[in-house]
Amino acid sequence: MPRRKKLPETSDIIGLGNPDKLTVQKSNPLQSLAKTNLTLPELKLLDVYLARIDSHDPEKRTVIIEKGELERVLCVTRILKDDLNKRLRNLFQIVEIEDATKPDGFKIISLFEEAEAVPDGNGLWKITLTCTPSAREYIFNIEDLGYLRYRLKNVIELKSRYSYVLFLYLENNRFRKSWEIKLDDLKELLKCKATRYNQFKFFNAEILKKCHNELNEKTDCHFDYEPVKQGRTIVGIRFTIKTLKQLASEDVLNLPEVPIVIKDCPLWESALSNWKLSAEKLDELSALLDAIPASKLPEAPTAEQAQLKYIALKVAEIKRRNQEKKINNRFAYLRKLMQKDMETKAEKETAQQLAVAHGTQAFRNFTERTNNNYIEKILEQYKQH
C-alpha cells in the first residue's frame, strides 16, 4: 500500500478560534494609529489581525478570517460589499507612524500588502490579510519598541471610537492608579474639535459620561473620573482605575439582602450556594473562617454578617479574576485567599511574641545590672577620672 504523501505546511493562520481567549499585543508605534483617520471598524480589524498572529513568528503574516467570524467580531449580522471594500482600502492607505526610536523624523508605511474578500451564499465574508514587510517591525518582535497587551474581547463590543481611544489611554496608564491630565490634552487625544466641546458640560455629557458607562459595562477597565478645577475653571480630569478589591466591594454592596431562612447552616454559606460544595469542603472553609483575624473581616452589625460579607467579597473577587483568566478550581482558590489572610495573623502574632521576648530580656538585663550594683560601679569609675 503506497504511503500517504505528507501535506505541505501552511504559512497561513486560519480562523480566529474563540475571540474571548485572544489577546492583542500592539506596539507603541501602532497605537499612534488611533490619532489618524482610521475608523473604529478599521481599528478593530487591525486588532483582530494582531490578536491572531504569533508576534514571534514573522514568517506567518497571513491571517484568514473564516466566514462569519468578522461579522461576529464586529457585532454585526451582515457587512455590505461596498462597506467592506471601503474598510479594507482604508487599511491599505499610507499611514504615518509615531516611532520613538526615530525622534528626529517620522515614518510613513502601508500596513497591508494584500487582502482578499470572498462572500458565501449568505453574504458572510472570508477575509485574507497579509501585512507588508515594512510593517513587520511594528508587528513582530516588538519588545524593544514597547507594547500594550489587552484582551480582544475588551474592544470588539465597543460602539464608540472615543471609548476605544480612551480605553487604550487608560490601559497604558493603569500602573499609575490615579492621575491627572489637562483638559485640552484629553480633548486632543480624543479628537474632540467641535466648538461646542469648549463648554465642559457638553464634553462631559456627550463624551466622558458615555465613555465611562460603555467601558465600565463592556470591558475590564473600570474607572472613575472627576474634574480638576483652578478657581472656578475646569482645567483637567483626574482618572482613577478601580482595583479588583474595590470592584468586589461594590459587588457586595449591591448584593440583595439575604432572606432569613431557618436551616441548620451558618449564614456565610448562602454566599456559596451556587458553588454546590460538599459538606467536607464547607467544614474546611468553616475552620478557616474561624481562624481569620477580626481585622480582616468587614464591618457589620453582627459577627455572622461580617463572615457573610467576607465570603461574599472573596466570591466576587474570584468571579472578576475568572473573567481575566479562567480559574478551574474555585474552592482551591478561595482556600488560598483565606490562608493568606490567616498568614497575616500568624505573622503579627510572631512579631508580638518577639517583641515581648525582647522586652522580657531587656528587663532581665536591667535587673541583673541593678543587682550587681552596675550603676554604682560606673559612678565609681567617673570619680577615679
Q: Which amino acid is at 353?
A: Q
CB–CB of 82/90 below 8 Å? no
Contact call for residues 300 and 308 (beta carbons, < 8 A): yes
pLDDT confidence of residue 15: 78
Task: Say what the pLDDT of residue 239 is.
Answer: 96
The grid coordinates listed for 341 are: 489572610
Fold of 11-157: Arc Repressor Mutant, subunit A (1.10.10)
**CATH code linked to domain 159-242:** 1.10.10.10
Q: What is the mean pLDDT of each run of 10 residues along the chain (385 residues)?
A: 45 76 90 89 92 90 86 81 86 81 77 86 85 91 89 91 96 92 96 94 96 93 94 95 62 48 70 85 88 85 84 84 80 90 65 57 54 55 55
Q: What distance in Å separates the CA atoms of residue 306 and residue 255, rounded to the nearest whole number?
A: 14
pLDDT for res 189: 95
Cell numbers given for 92:
491599505
Q: Which residue has the cell 508587528?
A: 139
- Region for 99 from its dihedrals, namely left if φ exceeds 0, alpha if ψ lies in -120 to 50, beta otherwise: beta
pLDDT of residue 159: 93
The predicted structure's pLDDT at residue 77 = 82
d(CA 293, CA 345): 6
* Residue 106 burial (10 A CB sphere; 0-12, 13-18, 19+): exposed
pLDDT (0 to 100) of residue 363: 52
The confidence score (pLDDT) of residue 164 equals: 96
| Same fold yes or no, 11-157 and 159-242 | yes
- Side chain identity at 225, as an amino acid letter? Y
Q: How many CB atoms lie within 10 A of CB 235?
A: 14
Every domain of the chain and the residues it spans:
11-157, 159-242, 243-385
Characterize the bridge pairing of strands 62-65 and 12-14.
parallel
Q: From CA 270, how far away is CA 268, in angstroms rounded? A: 5
Give residue 178's pLDDT: 94
Q: What pLDDT was estimated at residue 224?
A: 94
